[in-house]
Amino acid sequence: MRRIARDPVSRRRFFAISGGTGAAGALLAACGDDDDMSSTASPSTPADDEMASQFGEGDLGIVNYALTLEYLEAAFYADVAKSGLFKGDDQALIEQIGQAEQEHVDALTATAKQLGGQPAKEPKAQFPLDDAASVLKLAATVENLGAAAYLGQAASIESPEVLAAALSIHSVEGRHAAVLNVLNGKPPTPDGAFAKPADMQTVLDSVQPFLA
Amino acid sequence: MQPNNQTAGAAPELAKIEVENLNRSSFLVRGMLAAGALYGTAAVSPMVRKAFGRASMGDIDILNYALTLEYLEAAFYEGAAKTPGLSKEVAGYVKTFGAEEQEHVDALTATITDLGGTPVKAPKADFGDAFTSAEKLIPLAITFEDVGVSAYNGAAPEIESKTLLATAGGIVQVEARHASTIRFAAGEDPSPEAFDPTMTQDEVLKAVQPYVES
C-alpha cells in the first residue's frame, strides 16, 4: 500500500523561508516565445504589461500567478475526489495530490501577504468530469502545465527565499505530473532529460477554458 | 510505458550531436532560449556572453557538485540495467532514466568547460549488492533520485547566473519525475511531501558517501 504522508514540518519551513525581500524593481518578463529564436520580442510587450498588472509586479506577481494556478488545481482535485469516479488507490492518490495543492494554496497565500501584497482571489472554475479516463488525462495535462509554469518563472524570482519555496513546489508538481502520465500510459519524462518551461501567456491560455 | 528519447543510451556519441533535437550544447542552447524568454531573443547573444562571463567560481563549483551526483546516478543506472528479475516496467525506467542522467552528465560537462572551468572526474562508485535483485535495487534508486531533487533544490538559489538557474530547474524537474515514477512503481508514495525538502551539500555528500570509493 502507498504511504500517504502529511508533513506539517515542511509547510512550516516554507513559511519560515518565504518572508524574504520585497519585490521592488522586478518585472514579470518571462513571457517570451522561447520556441522562436528569430523573433525580436522586446523585454516588455503590451501582453506582458497586461499580465503584470493582472497579478502585480515582481515576486508578488509571480506568487499570485502561482497561487491562481494552485487554486485551480486544488478545486479540480476537490471536484474529482467528490465525483465518485475513482476508488481505492486511485482515489487515495487523488486525495493526496489535492491535499498537496491545497497546502500550496495556503503557503502561497501566506507568502503574498508576507511580501506585503494582496493574495490573488480564487478564480471561479468548472471542470469536465465525464469519466475516469478523461479526468485522468486532464489531471496529467494540469500537472504537466503546472510544473512547466513554475519552471518558466524560476529565473524571474528575485528573492532567494521565494525561489527556494517555489522550487520545492515545482519539483512536487513534477512528481505529480510523472505519476499521472504513467497512469495515462504516457512517458513520465515526456520532454526527455530537460523539462521544458511554459511562459505565462501559454499557461493562462491553457487554463482559460476552465474559468467560469 | 513507452521509453522515450533513448538516443544517448543507444549511442553515447550521438548525445553530443543531438539532444532533444538541439545540438551538442543542449544545455547552452536551452540556456539561450531561457535568456531569450527573459530578455527578448534579440538580446540573446550578448546576454548569454554576459551571463556566462558573470558566472562566478561559485556557479562552477555548483555545476561540479551537480556533475558528481549525475555521474553517480548514471553509473548507478548503468549497473542497474544488469539486475536480474526486474519487471518490464522497471527495466524500461532504468534504461530511459539512465540515458537521461547521462545527458545531464554530458550537458554539465560541456557547460563547465564552456565557462572555463574544469569538470570533475567521475567518482569511483560502489553500489555493493544493489544489482543482485529488484528488492535491493529499487530502494537505492529512490534514494538517489530523492537526494538528487533535494540537492538541486538546495543549491539552485545559490546559482548566480539566471541562465544556469533555468537549466538547473529543467534538470531537477526530471529528477523529481524519476523519483516519483520509481516510487509509484514500487507501491510507495510518489510525492510524500507537499514541499520537497532541500539538502545542503554536506548532507548530500554524506548521503552518497557509502556509494563512493575513497
User: Are B191 and A100 an interchain contact pair (Cβ–Cβ within 8 Å)?
Assistant: yes
Question: Which of A14, A37, A187 lies nearest to residue B36, judging by beta carbons?
Answer: A37
Identify the CA nearest to B85 among candidates B52, B124, B134, B126: B134
Output the pTM of the full model. 0.78
- Residues of chain B predicted below pLDDT 70: 1-57
φ, ψ for residue B2 (rounded to 5)?
A: -100, 110
Give residue A54's pLDDT. 81
Instruction: Tell me if residue A211 falls in helix, strand or coil.
Output: strand
Question: Which of B37, B156, B171 lies nearest to residue A30, judging by beta carbons?
Answer: B37
Across A158-179, average pLDDT: 96
Give every CB contact of residue A49 below 8 A, 6+ residues apart in sequence.
none
Residue keyed to cell 528575485: A158
Check: CB of residue A172 under 8 Å from CB of residue A11.
no
Check: CB of residue B106 under 8 Å from CB of residue B57.
no
Residue keyed to cell 524593481: A25
Chains A, B: CB contacts under 8 A, how many?
Answer: 242
Chain A residues within an 8 Å CB radius of B3: 187
User: Are B189 and A7 an interchain contact pair (Cβ–Cβ within 8 Å)?
Assistant: no
Quick one: how far is CA A166 from the chain centroid?
9
The answer to whether residue B33 neighbours chain A at the CB level (below 8 Å) is yes
Q: What is the DSSP letter of B212?
A: B
This complex has an ipTM of: 0.79
Question: Which of A31, A186, A189 lies nearest to residue B100, judging by beta carbons?
Answer: A189
What does the pLDDT look like over B44-87, one tens digit per residue? 333 333 344 444 459 999 999 999 999 999 999 999 999 999 99
Around B85, how many Cα atoms within 13 Å sit in the side-chain half-sphere?
A: 9
What does the pLDDT look like over B134-143, one tens digit per residue? 999 999 999 9
Chain B residues within an 8 Å CB radius of A31: 37
Check: CB of residue A100 under 8 Å from CB of residue A48.
no
Neighbour tally for A115: CB within 10 Å: 25
CA distance A84 to A54: 36
